[in-house]
Amino acid sequence: MPSWKTVRDDFPALRQQVNGQPLVYLDNAATTQKPQVVIDALSHFYEHDNANVHRGLHALSMRATDDYEGARARVAKFINAAAPEEIVFTRGTTESINLVASSWADANLKPGDVILLTEMEHHSNLVPWQLAARRTGAVLRYVPVTGDDGRLDLTQLDRLLTREVKLFAFTHISNTLGTINPVAELCARARAVGAVSVVDAAQSSGHMPIDVRAMGCDFLAFSGHKMAGVTGIGVLYGRRHLLDTMPPWQGGGGMIAHVDFFESRWKPSPERFEAGTPNFADAYALGVACDYLDGLGREEIQRHDAGLAQLAYEKLSALPKIRLLGPPDGERGGLVSFALHDVHAHDVVTLADQDGIALRGGHHCNQPLMKKLGLTGTARASFYLYNTAAEVDALVASLQRIQKFFS
Positions that interact with ligand PLP (CB under 6 A): 29-30, 92-94, 122, 124-125, 171, 175, 200, 202-203, 223
Interatomic CA distance for residues 90 and 279, integer angstroms = 8
C-beta of 222: minimal distance to ligand PLP in Å? 8
Which of 98, 94, 99 lies closest to 270, judged by CA? 99
Which of 206, 222, 229, 277 lies closest to 41, judged by CA? 229
C-beta of 306: minimal distance to ligand PLP in Å? 17
C-beta of 34: minimal distance to ligand PLP in Å? 15
C-beta of 377: minimal distance to ligand PLP in Å? 15
Nearer to ligand PLP, 287 or 343 (CB): 287
What phi and psi values does residue 327 have, to the nearest 5 degrees? Answer: -70, 140
Q: Which of 187, 217, 290, 365 is catalytic?
A: 365
Interatomic CA distance for residues 112 and 300, integer angstroms = 45
Interatomic CA distance for residues 401 and 407, integer angstroms = 10
Nearer to ligand PLP, 351 or 361 (CB): 361
Is 365 in the active site? yes
DSSP, residue by residue, 366-406? -HHHHHHHT-S-EEEEE--TT--HHHHHHHHHHHHHHHHHH
Interatomic CA distance for residues 267 and 54, integer angstroms = 13
Nearer to ligand PLP, 29 or 402 (CB): 29
Are 330 and 313 in contact, with CB atoms under 8 Å apart? no
C-beta of 270: minimal distance to ligand PLP in Å? 18
Nearer to ligand PLP, 30 or 62 (CB): 30
Are 15 and 385 in contact, with CB atoms under 8 Å apart? no
Nearer to ligand PLP, 220 or 394 (CB): 220
| Enzyme catalytic residues | 365
